[in-house]
Structure formats: C-alpha cells, structure tokens
Amino acid sequence: MPAAIIDGKETARKIRAGIGVRAATLRKEGIFPCLAVILAGEDPASLSYVGAKEKALAEAGMESRDIRLPQSVGEGELLSLIDQLNRDPAVHGILVQLPLPRHIREDKVIAAIDPAKDVDGFHPFSVGSLVLGQPGFLPCTPHGVLTLLRELPVPLAGAHAVVVGRSNIVGRPLANLLCRRDINATVTLCHTGTRNLEDICREADILIAAAGKPGLVSGAMVREGAVVIDVGVNRVEDPAAKKGYRLRGDVDFDSVAEKAAYITPVPGGVGPMTIAMLLQNVLIAAEPKN
C-alpha cells in the first residue's frame, strides 16, 4: 500500500492558529510579540525565506522588524546592531538569516545574540541546553520534525531513527533530540564519512533525510513500513517550470512512497513546520517570565 502523506502544511496551520490566539491575549496585556529579522545581501532563497517568515508573523498577529543590510556590511556593524537589539525591550526575538556574506564569521554573530532572544536556537547556550535536556529554545526545523513524528500513531520510544546529515541546524540537533530520555529513540547519525549508508537506512524505523542532495534516498534504501521525513529543499533546474526550477527533497518520493508507511512531501512537509516552530519560539520569548 502506498505511504500515507504527512501533511505538514495542515499541522502547521493548526499550530499557527493556536499561536494567533495566544498572541492576541498578549496584545491585550500590552505585549506586542516582535521578531527582528536581519538579512544581509540579496540571496534569492534567503529573501524568499525571510518573506515567508514575516508574512506568517503578521498572520499570527505578531510584529517583525525587517532589517536589510547590504552584502558589504561589516562584521562590527552587524555585531553592534545585534547589541542594540539585545537591549531593546520591544524586540523579543532576533533572527539572523543564514548564510551570511563570506567575510562575516557566523559563529561570532550567533554568539552575540542574547540567548533569551535566540529564537532560532543556534546560540551555543541553546545548543548546550538541548544536549543537556534543559529548557531552552529548540531549533525550528528539528523541533518541527519532532512535532510531526509525535503526531503519528507510531511509537518513537525504542524505534531506530536514522538521520542522514549532521549539520548544526538540522541533523545534529535532531539526533540529540530523538535520543533524549523523554523520546527514547535509538539514533544513528550518518554523514559523508558513513560506510554502507544504504544498509543503515534500510534498518531505520524512522528515516530522516537532511543532506541537501536531491533524491539521495531511494526506495531501495527504505524498509517496508518505515516513516520517512524529508527535510531537504533543493532547487533543481526545470525549464518547464515558471521560475526555471522546482523544489525537490532529498527523498525520491515516488519510489519511497511505495514502501514507506508515512512520508512527508516537498514542499508541504517539514518547511511549513519550521515556520510554525519559529512563531512558537517568538511567542515564548515574548511571554512574561515568572
């Protein structure tokens, strides 16, 4: 039987509706949840991500402070801007859209953000809290994947989860989350140094592809009845498409859907969940702390 489609768009819509209600309550208390969004340069994919985030914030009744900087912006200038935003009580969250121009050290910029406003969850403090299982902002894409998995009638405890990709923003935090005691999956984290990737993937109850390689995971790599989550968003040339490209995931959807029990589509799977989790973090950042 072909796989059931995991509808990330619909799950995200419900979460966003709930966030909208909570944001309205905050506004009545005089708190206007606000995310500062910094974009340096004009990378087309980044422009589109930033636009989607700001639109979603507005729809949920939250504010965004849109800060566009030239590609040539200096690291010092960016750091002093972050310092100002850290001290601005009207700004609850700070998001620096990655990648930054090459001459700017990303780690330095991320470390400059006040951890209390680190709604992307990339600050070393947030990363450490996640690894230690302590409260803190969870990174949006891994949190979105986990939220989708928790909605399925499939036990995560004891399941073998295979994560393909070990980036700091997706694979590594996701692997860390999945093996936390409250989730209790057994995790294998794969990367380009992994031998027998195909064999390892075939052993997965839950297979998560986050490699940035279109169609990397084929049906032959998937166990019958597995859950397959496709984080990949890759632009592949397509002269027939209006924009000249189309989006393709890391999973070869057709062959994998023949074998998996559940699968996320691209687009409409993990992507919308990432934005929903960002809104959730902004809301948490804005809520009064006892």
Closest CA to 95 of 61, 134, 127, 49: 49
Q: Are the C-beta atoms of residues 188 and 161 closer than 8 Å to each other?
A: yes
On whether the CB atoms of residues 53 and 37 are closer than 8 A, the answer is: yes
DSSP 3-state assignment of 101?
coil
Q: Would you count residue 165 as binding ligand NAP (CB under 6 A)?
A: yes
The residue from 30, 44, 193, 288 that contacts ligand NAP (CB under 6 A) is 193
Q: Mapping DSSP to helix (H, G, I), strand (E, B) and coil, where does residue 231 land?
A: coil
Q: Which of 147, 264, 274, 280 binds ligand NAP (CB under 6 A)?
A: 274
* β-bridge partners, 237: 245
**What is the residue type of 125?**
F
171 binds ligand NAP, rule: CB under 6 A: yes
Among 48, 72, 134, 192, binds ligand NAP (CB under 6 A): 192
Closest to 223 (Cα-Cα) out of 201, 190, 255 = 201
Residues 224-243 that bind ligand NAP (CB under 6 A): 231-234
Tell the smallest beta-carbon distance from residue 146 to ligand NAP (Å).
13
Position among 119, 206, 210, 221 found at the interface with ligand NAP (CB under 6 A): 210
**Of the listed 97, 117, 230, 252, which one is catalytic?**
97
Nearer to ligand NAP, 61 or 214 (CB): 214
Answer for the pair 67, 38: CB distance below 8 angstroms, yes or no. yes
- Smallest gap from Cβ 209 to ligand NAP, in A, equals 8
| Chain position whose Cβ is nearest to ligand NAP | 167
- Cβ neighbours for 75, distance < 8 A, ≥ 6 positions apart: 103, 104, 105, 108, 109
Binder of ligand NAP out of 38, 82, 119, 211 (CB under 6 A):
211
Task: Verify binding: residue 116, ligand NAP, rule CB under 6 A.
Answer: no
State yes or no: residue 136 binds ligand NAP (CB under 6 A): no
What whole-number distance in Å separates Cα of residue 149 and Cα of residue 161? 11
Decide the pairing of beta strands 234-237 and 245-248: antiparallel
Residues lying near ligand NAP in the complex (CB under 6 A) = 141, 164-167, 169-171, 190-194, 197, 210-213, 216, 231-234, 270-271, 274
Residue positions annotated with a catalytic role: 53, 97, 120
